[in-house]
């Protein structure tokens, strides 16, 4: 049993888009769509700006609204990994999940099914890290199992200010950002 997730260090991230481009190729993401993206938030006035760079994707929530609303049983949270996935064959492309996701993480693949980040489950199941985490030049994206004793993910969060996206939505995201 595992509970996979990510700890993403905004202090390391430079917003270079290596994660996005490697994902395009690893997952053959159709042109015009993306499964991960960079958010740049700048506040303050010169010279005292504050900048936050985040590599974002599906949060693989513990309480995933996309799964709850799916009328076809296509969206599911995988037993044993916690990865939120879509059965392409069951999906009708109704977009209920797109509306339910507070993170705009999903899109309808031109082939007709809901598509989004899978944590590269095909790689994870082969003992590898997701494409984005593997290539990230700054090691900002860290992937692992929160349930593993002594997990690197917990060590990374020690002593750091940690946030998840839209905690008020009650989705219990499994991606944590270090500020």
Partner 1 sequence: MSNHFNRRQFIKIAGMGSAAAGLAASGMNPWGWPANALAGSLGSDVQVIPTFCELCFWKCGINAKVRDGKIIKLEGHPKHPLSNGRLCPRGNGGTGLTYDPDRLKKPLMRVQKRGEDVFREVSWEDALDFTAEKMLDIKAKHTADCLALFNHGYGATFIKTLLMAYGTHSIAAPSYAQCRGPREVGFELTFGEEVLSPERTDIKNSRMLVLIGSHLGENMHNTQVQEFADAMANGAKLVVVDPRHSVAAGKADWYLPIKPGTDIALLLAWMNVLISEELYDKEYVEQHTYGFEQLKQHVKSYTPEKVWKITGIRPALIRATAREMGHQKPAVLIHPGRHVTWYGDDTQRSRAIAILNALVGSWGRKGGFFYPGELDVPMPELPKFPPMTKKRADLQLKDYPLAFSTLASGLCDATFPAPQAECQLKGWFVYGTNLFFSLPKPEQTREALQHLEFVAVSDVLPMEIVGWADVVLPDATYLERYDDLHVGHYRDPFIALRQPVIEPLYDTRPPWWVSKELAKRLDVADYFPWDNIEDYLQQRLTPMGIKLSDLKKDGVKVFPRQALYFEDGVQPEFYTDSGKIELYSAKLASYGHDPIPVFTDHGDPPEGYFRLLFGRAPVHTFGRTTNNRVLNRVIDTNHVWINRRIAEQWGIKNGQMIRLQNQDGAITNEIAAKVTERIRHDCVYMTHGFGHKAKGLTNKKGASDSDLITRYNTDPIMGGTGMNVNFVTFVV
Smallest gap from Cβ 92 to partner 1, in A, equals 17
**By CB under 8 A, residue 16 contacts partner 1:** yes
149 or 158: whose CB is closer to partner 1? 158
**What does the CA dihedral 151, 1, 56, 94 come to, rounded to 10 degrees?**
-170
1 or 161: whose CB is closer to partner 1? 161
Considering only residues 87 through 116, tell me which ones interact with partner 1, judged by CB under 8 A: 103-105, 107, 109-111
**By CB under 8 A, residue 164 contacts partner 1:** no
**By CB under 8 A, residue 117 contacts partner 1:** no
**By CB under 8 A, residue 30 contacts partner 1:** yes
**By CB under 8 A, residue 161 contacts partner 1:** no
**By CB under 8 A, residue 134 contacts partner 1:** yes
**By CB under 8 A, residue 126 contacts partner 1:** yes
**By CB under 8 A, residue 26 contacts partner 1:** yes
What is the full DSSP assignment across the chain? Answer: ---EEEEEETTT-----HHHHHHHHHHTPPTT--S-EEEEEEEEETTEEEEEEEEE-----SS-HHHHH-SSS-EEEPTTT--EEE-TTT-----HHHHH-TT---EE-TTSSEE---TTHHHHTTT---HHHHH-TT--EEEEETTSTT-HHHHHHTTS-EE-S-GGG----SEEEE-
Do the Cβ atoms of 75 and 97 come closer than 8 Å? yes
**By CB under 8 A, residue 1 contacts partner 1:** no
**By CB under 8 A, residue 167 contacts partner 1:** no
Site residues for partner 1 per CB under 8 A: 9, 11-18, 20-22, 24-34, 37-39, 41-43, 45-53, 56, 103-105, 107, 109-111, 120, 122-123, 126, 128, 131, 134-140, 165-166
């Amino acid at each position: 049993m595992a509970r996979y997730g990510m700890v993403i260090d905004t202090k390391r991230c430079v917003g270079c888009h290596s994660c996005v481009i490697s994902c395009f190729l690893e997952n053959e993401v159709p042109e015009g769509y993306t499964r991960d993206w960079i958010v740049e938030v700048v506040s303050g006035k010169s010279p005292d700006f504050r900048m936050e760079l985040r590599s974002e994707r599906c949060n693989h929530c513990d309480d995933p609204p996309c799964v709850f609303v799916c009328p076809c049983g296509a969206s599911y949270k995988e037993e044993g990994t916690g990865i939120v996935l879509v059965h392409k064959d069951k999906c009708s492309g109704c977009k209920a999940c797109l509306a339910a996701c507070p993170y705009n993480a999903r899109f309808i693949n031109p082939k007709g099914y809901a598509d989004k980040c899978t944590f590269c489950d095909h790689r994870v199941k082969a003992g590898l890290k997701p494409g984005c985490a593997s290539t990230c030049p700054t090691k900002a994206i860290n992937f692992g199992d929160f349930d593993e004793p002594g997990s690197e993910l917990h060590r990374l969060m020690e002593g750091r200010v940690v946030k998840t996206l839209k905690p008020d939505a009650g989705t219990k995201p499994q991606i944590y950002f270090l500020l």
